[in-house]
Structure 1
Amino acid sequence: MQRKRWYAIQTYAGSELRLKHQLEERVRNLGWEKSFEPLQTGEATEFFFVPVEEVVTSRSGRGRASEYRVPYDYDLLATTNERIQRGDLIARRPPKHLARRAEVISAESLWRVVVETLTHTEIEYLIPQEKGLRRDIRVGEKTRPGLPLTVDSDERYVTEERGQIVARERVKRIVLRYDDGTEETRIIPEAYLHPKVRAGATLEEGTELEREHKIHARASGLVKVKEYKDKREVSVQRIERRRLIPGYVFTKMGLDEEEMFELIRGLERSARFVGSKTRPVPIEGPEILLVQRKAGLVEAPQTEAKAPRVELEFEVGEVIQIVEGPFADFTGEVREIDKEAEEAVVMVKIFGRETPVRISFDGIEKV
């Protein structure tokens, strides 16, 4: 058996995972497992590796972050930086019960429209349902001072400030009269109102007024929570898996040249070994360090936390050196600078091909 060394197999960008699956299958069919260095990825043992990185974006599957308005009477079950899956429970409002015996004096049907202002405060508008809302009064629409909410442009129901509509729902204004003569008014969404709660009904202590409400995630990703005066805003940011080195599959093996060419013969996507046309060449230097770091075989260097930077030490077009993460020891040209995110896009050469990588300012030094 040949000494095991690292090799790169080139294919079309976007075909790496398909080629990797074909190579894994061929190795097992040929019984060559002992000629390959096993790589542990989760619970599976594999012989080929496609370096990827996880990137948190502000886009959901439809291009925007999935956002959820969570009032403070809800129990928030998700926390910032927690990973969740589609369908997971984000928040829950427990059912509400009557604390003492009461009679329902009235149950008025209303529209509730909630506008979030530019300062993140909320203004609630309660409108009789018989009025009818304008068709453009829906969640996500912008508002301005004096915008009519009803079809007949009733001046009593106009928006007060610039903002955005964050809620639009049918509700009931329930007036309860207790045995001691005191009265209480509650606003309950029709979707969660218990059927027993209707005008003229007498409700015993413990009767359920409002059913439980749950908010489930519509997408998978990373949770971010912001707290404001009237609510919490939960967003689920999509996590994308991006190829670090597009167009390459890596393996550590001990095959001879004839066996190497048999390994890739007939595979789709024009698979070929990196090297000369007739002889695969083992990869060494910074390229193999990158692969080993992403495979978890070698620890990537990390820089110590630095004080806030007052000014940048480099500019677009300047050649810098990367000093942390899987690309440590690579040099490249700064293509873009994102001061808000404190990151730079650096073009590094991998196997002679320029590849853009995003690096934090702390991971870059002048050459």
Structure 2
Amino acid sequence: MDEAKWYVVHTYSGYENKVKVNIEKTVENRNLQDQILEVLVPLETVVEVKDGSKKTAQKKMLPGYVLIKMVMNDDSWYVVRNTRGVTGFVGPGSKPVPLTPSEIKSLGINLPTGELKPAVQFDGKVGDKVMILSGAWEDTIGEITSINEGKQVLTINVEMFGRETPVEIDFTDVKLM
């Protein structure tokens, strides 16, 4: 199983789930479980914070792409390449290139499980007032001075000992005023 690597397959937009199902059926029918180990349509859980309430939704992380963990050989290449809805492997020319561990990590894929890290969307902007919902600063109101989407945190100014102090707070721990 050391030869199995993650590859990216380009599909027609909207066909990602059909491609996943078709490849899985073909793997089962042709008994290729030892060559094509996993087919993944990358989904991310997005938490949207609007009007102080949290809503969770699943969104395609890479529309038009499917990730496949497989042992690359003629049989597995043929099965994937000739699946309805697949336009080809991602890579230069006709030779598929596997993802490197750092590329997989940057996508947020947890290798043993194939799960993706959840993301939170925050609909506030710099200058908005927010109330902190939990932690040491619970019920404190402050003004947003910066938003870091990557770390999923806000920096807000709160009043402490008579002066403004910057504090970092997670998106999910605040409510817009």
- Equivalence for 2:32: 32
1:247-326 residue pairs with structure 2 within 5 A? 247-256=64-73, 258-291=74-107, 293-294=109-110, 297=113
- The aligned amino acid for 2:15 is S
Larger Rg: 1
Structure 1 contact 35–255 (Cα < 8 Å) conserved? yes
Task: Measure how far apart 1:291 and its partner are.
Answer: 5.0
For 2:31 and 2:113, how far apart are their aligned partners in 1?
A: 25
Structure 1 contact 289–326 (Cα < 8 Å) conserved? no
Cα distance change on mapping 1:299 and 1:246 into 2, 3 Å: closer
Task: Measure how far apart 1:51 and its partner are.
Answer: 1.9
Task: Measure how far apart 1:252 and its partner are.
Answer: 1.6
Cα distance change on mapping 1:28 and 1:296 into 2, 3 Å: same
Cα displacement string for residues 268-316 of structure 1 (whole angstroms, at most 9, x for unaligned residues) = 334311112321111114321245634554899xxxxxxxxxxxxxxxx
- Equivalence for 1:55: 46
1:1-367 residue pairs with structure 2 within 5 A? 3-37=3-37, 47-57=38-48, 238-256=55-73, 258-291=74-107, 293-294=109-110, 297=113, 338-339=125-126, 340=128, 343-344=147-148, 360-361=152-153
Task: Return 5+ residue gaps in structure 1 as ranges.
Answer: 38-46, 60-64, 66-223, 225-234, 301-324, 328-335, 346-357, 363-367
Task: Measure how far apart 1:247 and its partner are.
Answer: 1.9
Paired residues in the alignment total: 134
Structure 1 contact 10–272 (Cα < 8 Å) conserved? yes
- The aligned amino acid for 2:19 is L
Cα displacement string for residues 118-161 of structure 1 (whole angstroms, at most 9, x for unaligned residues) = xxxxxxxxxxxxxxxxxxxxxxxxxxxxxxxxxxxxxxxxxxxx
SS state at 2:13 partner: coil
Cα displacement string for residues 165-222 of structure 1 (whole angstroms, at most 9, x for unaligned residues) = xxxxxxxxxxxxxxxxxxxxxxxxxxxxxxxxxxxxxxxxxxxxxxxxxxxxxxxxxx
Task: Measure how far apart 1:244 and its partner are.
Answer: 1.6
Cα distance change on mapping 1:13 and 1:290 into 2, 3 Å: farther
- The aligned amino acid for 2:27 is V
For 2:78 and 2:27, how far apart are their aligned partners in 1?
A: 10
Write 1 or 2 for the structure with the bigger share of helix.
2
SS state at 1:277 partner: coil
Task: Measure how far apart 1:263 and its partner are.
Answer: 1.2
- Equivalence for 1:128: none
Structure 1 contact 49–249 (Cα < 8 Å) conserved? yes
Cα distance change on mapping 1:28 and 1:242 into 2, 3 Å: same
Q: How well do the aligned residues superpose, as a CA RMSD in angstroms?
A: 3.8
For 1:56 and 1:326, how far apart are their aligned partners in 2?
A: 8
For 2:99 and 2:86, how far apart are their aligned partners in 1?
A: 20
SS state at 2:93 partner: coil
SS state at 2:44 partner: strand
Task: Measure how far apart 1:25 and its partner are.
Answer: 1.0
Structure 1 contact 48–249 (Cα < 8 Å) conserved? yes
For 1:56 and 1:2, how far apart are their aligned partners in 2?
A: 36
- The aligned amino acid for 2:59 is R
- The aligned amino acid for 2:77 is F
SS state at 1:34 partner: coil
Structure 1 contact 338–344 (Cα < 8 Å) conserved? no
Cα distance change on mapping 1:2 and 1:294 into 2, 3 Å: closer
Task: Measure how far apart 1:337 and its partner are.
Answer: 8.0
Structure 2 contact 19–86 (Cα < 8 Å) conserved? no
**Length-normalised TM-score, structure 1:** 0.30
For 1:249 and 1:31, how far apart are their aligned partners in 2?
A: 21
